Structure 1
Amino acid sequence: MEDTEQTINRDFSYSKLPEISLSNNIKLLEINIENNEEKSFLPTKTSMEGEIETEDKKNNVESTIKPGKLWFSREFLVQFGIIYVASLLMFITGMHTGWVGPTILKLSSNNSEIPLTSTEVSWLAAMVPFGGGIGPTFGAILANKIGRKNTILLTTVPEIFTWITVILAKDSYCLCIAQFIRGVTGGSAFAVIPMYVGEISSPKFRGIMGTLSVLQHHAGLFFETALVPYISISSNAGIAITIPTFLILVFIWMPESPYYFLMKNQRENAGKSLRILSQNNKIEKQLDQLERIVQEEQNEVQNFTEIFRVKNNRVSFILCLGIMSIQHLTGFVPLLVYAQLILDKSNSPIDPYISGIIIQGFGQQLQRNGRDKDGSYGTFA
């Protein structure tokens, strides 16, 4: 028995690995693991992320920018500046409606510069909606014929002459003509501005860019409502004329939509616009993608009648028409236009001009809460 135990112990002692050898092996194993991680031989997290990274992400500037810094990137600032200037046309359009309410109250008074009867007041208030009914058709046609940028500029030019007409007006006819022209240009603005904003803004910024034009419209409306009561009509026109003048002088240097250039088979010009808008020289993949989208849309939509012949287009048209009709049939616009005059006739203890400013402020807030923040569309990817 003792011999057997001695034999087992002896065999066990011979079979043990030396401590030095075992520690060396462990160290070598650790070194190998570290080397494998550095060389990405093992499927580590870093290597897996690199394997699934697409070429589009590599070529996109936003892949190198943290999400929190996107809003302060050059791309965002450039697009925001361009759209802010373009959206001044929406500010001007808001001024059309804001100008009417306090102006008709002034012109209906006994010491009016241009005395108006109740019938003339009604015509003056109706001219902007009347012109606005035909304006979008011109805006859409011109946008496809001469470009989005040129349409915005062409729409802004008559605004200068309408304010000059107001300064020189001696009767209600001149004011009505000026308001009708404003209605046409305002309707054109509602057609071309969302088009331009959607096409030049990248998807990650498109929501806030679309909201900007809506806010500009409400700001213009409130601006005139607050300004007109405290200065003369001609002085107000002199101040208002500076806004379309500024818009023309600045916006003439802005880029055209790359979408429009591709519609006209001007790929080189589209590339130049895209480089400015994205602040990136690697735009070939974006340009190819945009070109495919333009081609698909041109193949799908051949003429105007397809709005009614294709079921999806027909449903979309009916929904949009219904929503816009409900919004205007509520009487929101007539209420804003006649608010000061109604309050004056009702002998309200509050000054009608102050009441008008309050109504405009609350009315804009309610309308803004009920409106989609991203009313724009586009294909700039």
Structure 2
Amino acid sequence: MGKFSDVPALQYLAAASGNLAIVCDGMHYGWPSPTLPQIERPANSSTCAHNSTLCIGNEEGSWLAVMPLVGAILGAVTAANIVDALGRKKTVLATAVPFFLSWLMVAAANTSIWLHIARFIAGAADGVTFTVVPMYIGEISDPRIRGMLGSSCSVMWIAGFLLINIIGSYLSISATAIVSSLVPVISFFTFIWMPESPYYLLMQNKFEEAKQSLRKFRKDQDIEEEIERMKGSIQSQTKNTGRFFDLFLIKSNLKAVFIIAGIRGTLIVIFVSNFVLSLMQGKNLLITTLMRCVCLYTLSFNATSLR
């Protein structure tokens, strides 16, 4: 416990606050699980099984589920170009806006087009979020707990899946979206009080501001040695820029690419887990199926927490 107890609380607070954006992201990705069974039109039927005012076909439902992945491409490219210009803190704060707007669009949507647009916007925010939040946490955290705080991103992502399935089990689609829109609001108004990354400030040659920021995160610890290490890391990064093809030409990188590609395939199952479970039980018992999904995500959350 020693290595955790003497770490300033601000590091944990900053990581928790930043991870609220990851929770927003997980909620958007988990949204199809409780929602699609309510709005998808069964085969050979002109109405939805649950008398929803908004009805979509199976193909539309498939696109609705994966639309955030399409938006994430735009978001990741955007993040790569703005994270060093705006800074880590401002970029994280900016993601609250599209997350909030996308939930409002879901709440007000009366056609599937608006749902697709909302999901695309959320996906764009996802691409930015998963680029900048782990970066920020890695740059502000003490080396002794950096691994733990870094892995918290995946834990909070699964927590977002779990949360949206719990909310969606009891509320309508519109009410679920309105309640969910509060999460990016909370994320914004908590993270706005967090200091900027000292690493980013050094990149901008703001040495005094970088020292002030690092001093807040390290409290009574001597920061001069760590500042010098950061400077050396920035110089090394400037000289040795990586190439995209290094992902495939370096054996260790290629192995990581295949592992990540395989793991990401589980997203498809998670998107439609509610629908899959309802097929397996052979009856259209929505609440029972939703609660089974909650159990599934609870197990996933616990497993991720133990990694």
Q: TM-score, normalised by structure 1?
A: 0.72
**How many residues end up aligned between the 2 structures?**
296
2:24 aligned to which of 87, 92, 101: 92
Tell me the residue number matched to 2:230.
290
2:294 maps to 357
Matched ranges for 1:200-211 at <5 A: 200-211=140-151
| Paired position in structure 2 for 1:31 | none
Q: Distance in 2 between matches of 1:366 and 1:286?
A: 34
Letter of the 1:335 counterpart:
V
Per-residue CA deviation, residues 79-103 of structure 1 (Å, 9 max, x unaligned), is 0011100011111111012211110
1:321 Cα offset (Å): 1.8
Q: In structure 1, what is the Cα distance between the partners aligned to 2:66 and 2:248?
A: 34
Greater relative contact order structure (CA < 8 Å, 6+ sep) = 2
RMSD: 2.3
Equivalent AA in structure 1 for residue 260 of structure 2:
M
Distance 2:151 2:65 in 1: 27
Which letter does structure 1 place at the counterpart of 2:93? L
Q: Contact 2:247/2:254 (CA < 8 Å) preserved in 1?
A: no
The 3-state SS of whatever aligns with 1:210 is helix
Give the corresponding residue for 2:98.
158
Is 1:337 paired with 2:277?
no
Rounded to whole Å, the distance in 1 between the matches of 2:78 and 2:305 is 26
CA distance in 2, matches of 1:103, 1:244: 20
Task: State the 1:270 CA deviation.
Answer: 0.7
* TM-score normalised by structure 2 residue count: 0.88
| Matching of residues 13-52 of structure 1 within 5 Å | none
Q: Give 1:196 shift.
A: 0.7
Cα drift, residue 184 of structure 1 = 1.4
Please state whether the residue corresponding to 1:203 is helix, strand or coil.
coil
1:288 Cα deviation (Å)?
2.0
The offset of 1:170, in angstroms, is 0.7
1:40-189 pair list within 5 angstroms: 68-73=1-6, 75-108=7-40, 109-110=48-49, 111-189=51-129
CA distance in 1 between counterparts of 2:97 and 2:232 reads 35
Give the alignment partner of residue 209 of structure 2, picking from 269, 273, 297: 269
Between the aligned residues of both structures, percent identity stands at: 29
Distance 1:343 1:285 in 2: 55
3-state secondary structure, aligned to 2:145 = helix
Contact 2:27 2:161 in 1 (8 A): yes
CA distance in 2, matches of 1:290, 1:153: 24
Distance 1:224 1:212 in 2: 18
**Contact 1:99 1:225 (C-alpha < 8 Å) held by counterparts:** yes
SS of residue paired to 1:260: helix
Q: How far apart are the structure 2 equivalents of 1:292 and 1:363?
A: 39
Larger radius of gyration: 1
How many angstroms does 1:365 deviate by? 4.8
Alignment partner of 1:319 is 2:251: no
For residues 120 and 231 of structure 1, what CA distance do their matches in structure 2 show?
23
